[in-house]
């Protein structure tokens, strides 16, 4: 995914740190105590890629009456993931407009609440506004599935910074581009991370009922193979997890892998720990957010995460700029939202000011961003994705480097 020298060196160093941590781990753990005690070293800083395309461009762009759209959750139970993205988009557009007085690009925001049943209205409204030539969104897989045909009918290119269900690129859409790896990569990487790095011999898999959770659970389950000691399902909005927790405690796993979002993962982990579970709790990108720690409290100490994303807060220039603009630290997918907007802005700067021309620009794009190299295949998938690991350390999410290799 990140192939230029500056970032490649970072990934290699992180991998060596991860391997060194594994080499120092003690073997032999009890069935419910070992995995969360594994000492996986963290990576505390990375360098900004020297060849990354930045939204300011050369400052010579000319355009008029053009806008980008952000369509996705700004409210709702998992709104923080959408807020992280739109803040990254805002930063990119602000930097572009400050550097290019002759090309002031607007931003129009449409809130879907992350709900597939509510997303069609905002998307229909957005595609009807002629000045919108490109969109960053939608963040979640279910809403992306529900609205892809609307974008396709209007020829409006959109880059999702976070929707990972593999089936989204199998619909024949020419307007859909995924700005990260999908769950066909994340699931096997997560399984390898749990069994190889966390040394879990028995893994209990729990999934929610979203398109995201279902797709991720399928990919992870297949990769776990005989290490999967049991599985169960929960529903979006569920508050009481006592039934599934009873099954988990009886199974005595070393790790629980949860395929879903933080709104349910946090109380689930909290209730799990309260019942005496002391193994690892592992969640994907939908769980990897500071809100998970806030909602789960001390129970979050046992948590690890997988994500096809790198931490924006470790890119010091980006972190400083983002914090100044948003009065918050970069979150999960903040930097991917920034990069996605930059791809579209660079097309506008190159004179691709119609929907058709900007779609073709993205289709043939082949450049570094801050988070990865952006080049898509014919289906809208990145050609070189990667997956990374994180853990809760001192009440914060800490980066531990690339996983699954």
pLDDT of residue 21: 33
pLDDT digits (tens, 9 = 90+) for 268-287: 999 999 999 999 999 999 99
C-alpha to C-alpha distance for 327 and 324, rounded to whole angstroms: 6
Residues 312/322, Cβ–Cβ less than 8 Å:
yes
Mean pLDDT of 218-226: 97
SS3 (DSSP) at 383: coil
Strand bridging mode 388-393 / 303-307: antiparallel
**SS3 category, 306:** strand
Instruction: Give the C-alpha separation, 349 to 65, whole Å.
Output: 13
pLDDT band at 221 (very low <50, low <70, confident <90, very high): very high
Can you tell me the distance from the alpha carbon of 300 to that of 395, in angstroms, rounded to the nearest whole number?
A: 8
Q: Please name which of 119, 146, 81, 77 lies closest in space to residue 286, comparing C-alpha atoms.
A: 81
Q: Kindly state the DSSP code that residue 194 receives in the 8-state scheme.
A: I
10 Å Cβ neighbour count for 298?
10
DSSP summary character for residue 119: H
- As a whole number, mean pLDDT of residues 4-16 equals 36
| pLDDT for 29 beyond 70 | no
Residue 23 host element (H or E): helix 5-23
Q: Which residue has the higher pLDDT, 404 or 87?
A: 87
Strand blocks (E) in 76-207: 106-111, 132-137, 157-160, 176-178, 203-207
Digit-coded pLDDT (tens) for 179-193: 999 999 999 999 999
Measured N-to-C along each axis, helices 183-192 and 211-224 cross at an angle, to the nearest 10 degrees, of 40
Cβ(401)–Cβ(44) below 8 Å:
no
Helix (H, G, I), strand (E, B) or coil at 357: helix
Lowest pLDDT segment from 2-6, 158-162, 184-188, 232-236: 2-6
Look at residue 26 in the predicted model and tell me its pLDDT: 28
* Interior/surface letters 241-255, b for 16+ CB within 10 angstroms, e for the rest: beebbeebeebebbb
Residues 102 and 44: their CA atoms lie apart, in Å, by 39
pLDDT band at 405 (very low <50, low <70, confident <90, very high): low
The residues facing 374 across adjacent strands are: 367
For residue 317, give the nearest of 47, 7, 10, 59 by alpha carbon.
47
- At 50 the pLDDT is 85
Q: Region 379-386: what's the mean pLDDT?
A: 92
Q: Can you tell me whether residue 316 is helix, strand or coil?
A: helix
Q: At what angle do helices 211-224 and 141-154 cross, to 10 degrees?
A: 120
SS3 (DSSP) at 317:
helix
Strands, E assignment, 298-395: 303-307, 366-368, 373-375, 388-393
Residue 30: helix, strand or coil by DSSP? coil
- Residue 22 predicted with pLDDT over 80: no
Distance CA 124, CA 196 (A): 46
Distance CA 376, CA 387 (A): 17
Q: What pLDDT is stored for residue 37 in this prediction? A: 63
354 has pLDDT over 80: yes
Average pLDDT, the chain: 90
Ramachandran angles phi, psi of 110, nearest 5°: -135, 120
Judge whether 129 and 314 are in contact, CB under 8 Å: no
Quick one: DSSP state of residue 189? Answer: H
DSSP 46: B
Confidence (pLDDT) at 15: 37
Q: What is the DSSP letter of 372?
A: S
Q: Give the model's pLDDT for residue 13.
A: 36
DSSP strand pairing (303-307 vs 67-72): unpaired
Model pTM score: 0.84
Decide: 263 and 238 in contact? Cβ < 8 Å. no
């Amino acid at each position: 995914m990140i192939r230029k020298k500056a970032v490649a060196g970072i990934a290699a160093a992180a991998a060596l740190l991860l391997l060194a941590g594994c080499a120092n781990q003690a073997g032999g753990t009890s069935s419910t105590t070992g995995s969360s005690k594994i000492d996986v070293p963290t990576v505390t800083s990375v360098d900004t890629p020297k060849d990354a395309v930045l939204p300011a461009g050369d400052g010579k762009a000319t355009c008029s009456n053009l806008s980008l759209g952000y369509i996705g959750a700004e409210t709702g139970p998992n709104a923080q993931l959408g807020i992280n993205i739109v803040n990254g988009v805002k930063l990119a557009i602000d930097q572009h407009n400050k550097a290019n007085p002759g090309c002031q690009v607007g931003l129009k925001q449409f809130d879907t609440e992350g709900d597939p049943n509510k997303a069609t209205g905002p998307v229909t409204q957005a595609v009807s506004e002629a000045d919108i030539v490109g969109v960053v969104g939608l963040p979640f897989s279910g809403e992306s599935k529900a609205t892809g045909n609307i974008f396709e009918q209007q020829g409006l290119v959109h880059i999702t910074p976070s929707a990972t269900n593999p089936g989204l690129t199998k619909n024949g859409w020419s307007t859909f581009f995924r700005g990260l790896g999908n769950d066909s990569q994340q699931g096997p990487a997560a399984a390898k991370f749990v069994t190889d790095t966390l040394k879990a011999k028995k893994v209990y898999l729990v999934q929610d009922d979203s398109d995201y959770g279902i797709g991720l659970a399928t990919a992870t389950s297949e990769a776990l193979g005989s290490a999967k000691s049991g599985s169960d399902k929960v529903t979006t909005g569920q508050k009481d997890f006592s039934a599934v927790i009873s099954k988990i405690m009886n199974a005595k796993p070393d790790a629980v892998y949860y395929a879903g979002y933080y709104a349910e993962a946090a109380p689930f982990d909290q209730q799990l720990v309260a019942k005496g579970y002391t193994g690892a709790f592992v969640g994907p990108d939908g769980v990897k957010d500071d809100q998970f720690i806030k909602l789960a409290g001390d129970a979050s100490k046992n948590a690890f995460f997988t994500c096809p994303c790198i931490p924006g807060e470790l890119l010091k220039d980006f972190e400083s700029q983002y914090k100044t603009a948003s009065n918050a630290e970069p979150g999960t997918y903040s930097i991917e939202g920034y990069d996605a907007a930059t791809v579209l802005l660079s097309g506008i700067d190159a004179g691709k000011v119609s929907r058709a021309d900007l779609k073709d620009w993205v289709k043939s794009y082949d450049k570094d961003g801050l988070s990865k190299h952006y080049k898509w295949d014919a289906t809208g998938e990145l050609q070189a994705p990667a997956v990374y690991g994180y853990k809760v350390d001192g009440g914060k999410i800490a980066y531990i480097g690339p996983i699954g290799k």
